[in-house]
Amino acid sequence: MPWGEFKDIAAERRLFQRRAFVMLLLVFVLLGVLIARMYHLQVVEHDIYTTLSDKNRVQVQSVAPPRGLVYDRNDVLLAENRPVFSVTLVPERVGDMEQTLSKLRGMLSISEEDMERFQRRLLEPRRPFQELPLRYDLDEQEIARLAVHRHELPGVEVSAELVRYYPHSTLTAHALGYVGRINRQELQRIDPVNYAGTNYIGKSGVERFYEELLHGQVGYQHVETNARGRTLRVLERENPVPGEDIQLHMDLRLQRLAHDLLDGRRGAIIAIEPSTGGILALASVPGFDANLFVTGIGVEAYRSLSSSVDKPLFNRALRGQYPPGSTLKPMLAIAALDSNAVTRDKTIWDPGYYQLNSGGRRWRDWKRGGHGWVDLKSAVAQSCDIYFYEAAVTMGVDTMHQYLSDFGFGEDATLDVAGALSGLLPSSDWKRAIHSEPWYPGDSVNLGIGQGFMLATPLQLATATSVIANRGHWAEPRLLKDIKGDQSIDEVLPTGTHQSIELENPDDWEFVVESMAEVMHGSKGTARGAARGAPYRMAGKTGTAQVFSLAEDEEYDEEEIRERLRDHALFVGFAPVEDPKIAVAVIVENGGSGSGTAAPVARAMFDAWLLDFSEAGSELVAGSSAEGSN
C-alpha cells in the first residue's frame, strides 16, 4: 500500500490526540507519584533524615583537658605538657591495613618496636573508631610527607596531643613519678566518660597520687566530618576544665644538690621541713629519665634499666627498706628515758662487748675495746652499742615497739607520697606469727641498735628525725604545698592522724636533741668532722647498716670486702638545733661508715638550705654565696 493513500487523516489525528491525552494523564500520575514521594521524604520524614544527615556529618569528640602543671616551691616548672605529633590510624577507616602500613613505612621511619606495639594494640579491645597511635614524635619533614600523601591514606591522621614532659626528668623521676599510657587494668578503674579523650594517666609518685586533681574534666566538641572521616570544622565546643596546677614543697636546687652529692653512688636522701612536714628533697640515685616512660618505653631501653645492678628504677627513698642501725638510737633514747629504763645520769662500763648472761653470746661494740664509762648523752654522741643493748633489754620489745610506732616506724605515715613502704617494726606478736618463735632477749639486743628484724625506709628515718626536731610534734611528710587554682589544699591533702608524742618529762626532748648535737659538735661526737666550721648548730646521728652479719668476734677488713658487700652508710639529723628548718635522712649504699660518708652529705644539705638558699642564712654568714638566695 503506497504511503498516504486512502488514509483518513482527520481520524488518525483524533486517534493520536486521544492517545496523547492518555499519555498526558500518565505524565500527571507519574509526576504526582514523584511529588508525593518528595513530599513524604522532605516534609513528612524530614526530621528523620535531618537526624541521619547530622549523624553523618556531626561527630562528638571528647577533648582531653590539659594536665595540671607541677611546680617546685620556687615556681620552677617540674612537669609540663608539650605538643607531640604522632601518626594514628583508625582501623575502621583504613581500607587495606597491610598496604597502608607498608606505604607508611616508606614515608616514615617506623621501628620494629613501633610496629609490634601497634599490632598488639590492634588486637586489644578498644573503642570503635578509636585512633591507634603508630609512631610518636614525628619531625616536620615526616608531617609534611604525610600531608602530601594523605589522600592515598584513608584513616591515617596526624594528631597533635599534649604529652607530659619533665624538664628535670632524672632529678625528679622518683619524687614526681610519671604518666604513661592507660593500660587495660587502669581502663577498668577509671571513669570512662572523664577519660574519653585522655591517653595518659599517672603511674607513680605525685602524678599518680594527685591524678584526679591534675587530670581535670573532659570537654566535648561537635565536629563536622566528611564521608572519609576528616574533621572539617568545630561546630560547638564545651571546653574541658584543665587540671589544677600544683606546687610542691620540693626545692629543685636542693633536689639537684642531693643528686649531685650521691652522684656515682647508690643511695637516697630525704629532706623534710620539720614545721610543715613538707618534703624538700626526695632523691633516689641513680635516677632515670621519666620522659622515656611517657609515650611508652622501648623493650630494649626498659630491659637495660630494669636489669641494671644499680637498680635505677628502684625508689630507694620510699621503698628501700634498710636496717636503720644506730640512727635509731635517738628514738630509743627517748623511749628509754620515758619508760624509765634509763636515767639521764645512768652510767655503764663498756668493755667492748655485751652479754645477756655471763658466759653467753657476746654482742660486740662497734669500737673494739669499748668506750669505757658512758652515760646516755655520750652513748648517743659516741654511738655506744653496749649502752643501748642494755637499755633495750631493760625496756623489752613491747615498750620499744610502742615508742617506735609513735615515731612512725612500721607504717606508711605519709600523707601523699604514693608507693611509700612501711618497713618492718618487729614485735613479739609479729615474731610469733611470722617465725613461730617467741621473742628472745637477744632479739631485743639487736633491736637496741637498729639491727635484727627491724627495717626502715629513708623516708621513715627522716620522718622520725623530724618528729624529734619538732620535740614530739607530728607533721606528716607531704609533697603538696599548694594548689594554684581555687581549690583548697585541705580538700585534697589527707589529714594527718598522728598524735604528738607526749613525754612525762618534756625536757627529755631537749636532752636527746642535745645528745644529738653532741654527735656533731662534741669532742667525741661520731660526726664531729662533718660539722666542723658550721656557723649554726646541728643535731644528728650516724649509723651503719650491715649488708651481711659477721660472726661473733670476727674481724673484718673493709678493703677485703667487695664494694657491694660493704656496709650501708646512714645519717639522720636536723638543723639548726634551736629552730629546726630541715631534717634529713641519708643513706649511701655500701658507703662504709655513716660518719665518713653520710654525715658530710647531710652537712652539705644543711649548708645549702640554711646558708645558700635562704636569706636568713646569708645574714648568718657574712660573705656566704648569694647564689640562689631569695
Partner 1 sequence: MPAGSLFNQSARHPLSSPRGIWSALHIDPILLFLLLTLIAGGLFVLYSGADRNLEVVKAQGIRMGVALVVMFVFAQLDPAVFRRWAPWLFTAGLIGLAAVLLVGVGAKGAQRWLAIPGLPRFQPSELMKLVVPMMAAWYLSRHYLPPRLRHVAVALLIVLAPMAMIILQPDLGTSLLVGAAGIFVVFFAGMGWRLIGAFLAMVSVAAPLMWFFVMREYQKQRVLTLLDPQSDPLGAGWNIIQSKTAIGSGGMDGKGWLQGTQSHLEFLPESHTDFIVAVLAEEFGFVGMLVLLVLYLLIVLRCLYIAATAQDSFSRLLAGALTMTFFIYVFVNVGMVSGLLPVVGVPLPLVSYGGTSGVTLMAAFGVLMSVHTHRRMISA
Q: How far is the CB of 25 from partner 1 (least distance, A)?
A: 11
CB 527 within 8 A of CB 330: no
Please enumerate, by residue number, every residue annotated as part of a binding site.
350, 365, 371, 384
Instruction: Tell me which residue of 383, 420, 427 sits closest to 405, measured CA to CA.
Output: 427
Helix (H) or strand (E) holding 225: strand 219-225
Identity of the residue, 10 or 622, whose beta carbon is nearer to partner 1 in the bound complex: 10
Sign of the C-alpha dihedral computed for residues 392, 395, 399 and 405 taken in this order: negative
Spatial neighbors of 3 by CB under 8 A, at least 6 apart, are none
Query: Smallest Cα–Cα separation from 342: which of 366, 369, 382, 377?
Result: 377
Name the minimum Å distance from CB 14 to partner 1.
Answer: 10
Instruction: Give the shortest CB-154-to-partner 1 separation in angstroms.
Output: 12
We find the least distance from the C-beta atom of residue 36 to partner 1, in angstroms, to be 10
Q: Which cell is 293 given?
A: 616512660
Nearer to partner 1, 58 or 299 (CB): 58
Residue with smaller CB distance to partner 1, 16 or 349: 16
Q: In the complex, what is the shortest distance from the CB of residue 17 to partner 1, in angstroms, rounded to a whole number?
A: 5
Q: Which residues pair with 238 in a beta bridge?
A: 220
b/e sequence 15-35, b meaning 16+ C-beta within 10 Å: eeeeeeeeeeeeeeeeeeeee
Work out how close the CB of 226 gets to partner 1 at its nearest, in angstroms, rounded to a whole number.
Answer: 4
CA 284, 288, 292, 293: dihedral to nearest 10 degrees?
-30
Which residues would be at the binding site for partner 1 (CB under 8 A)?
1, 3-4, 6-7, 9, 12-13, 15-17, 19-20, 23-24, 27, 30-31, 33-35, 37-39, 41-43, 45-46, 48-50, 52-54, 56-57, 224-228, 232
Per-residue b or e along 381-400, where b marks 16 or more CB atoms closer than 10 Å to that residue's CB: bbbbbbbbbbbbbbbebebb
Backbone φ and ψ for 31, nearest 5 degrees, come out as -60, -40
Find the radius of gyration of the CA atoms of the chain.
37
Cell of 269: 636522701
Q: Which is nearer to partner 1, 54 or 116 (CB)?
A: 54
Residue 581 CA to residue 575 CA, distance in Å, equals 6
- H-helix or E-strand spanning residue 17: helix 9-39
HSE at residue 309, side-chain half, CA atoms within 13 A, is: 4
| Long-range Cβ contact pairs of 113-117 (< 8 A, separation 24 or more) | 113/298, 113/299, 113/300, 117/296
Residues classed as catalytic = 326
d(CA 91, CA 89): 6
Question: Which one, 38 or 616, has the nearer CB to partner 1?
Answer: 38
Nearer to partner 1, 49 or 129 (CB): 49
Choice between 231 and 239, CB closer to partner 1: 231
Cβ-based nearer residue to partner 1, 43 or 193: 43
- Which residues fall in the annotated binding site for Zn(2+)? 350, 365, 371, 384
Q: Which amino acid is at 483?
A: I
Contact 273, 609 (CB under 8 A): no
**Min separation Cβ 150 and partner 1, Å:** 15
Shortest CB 233 distance to partner 1, Å: 11
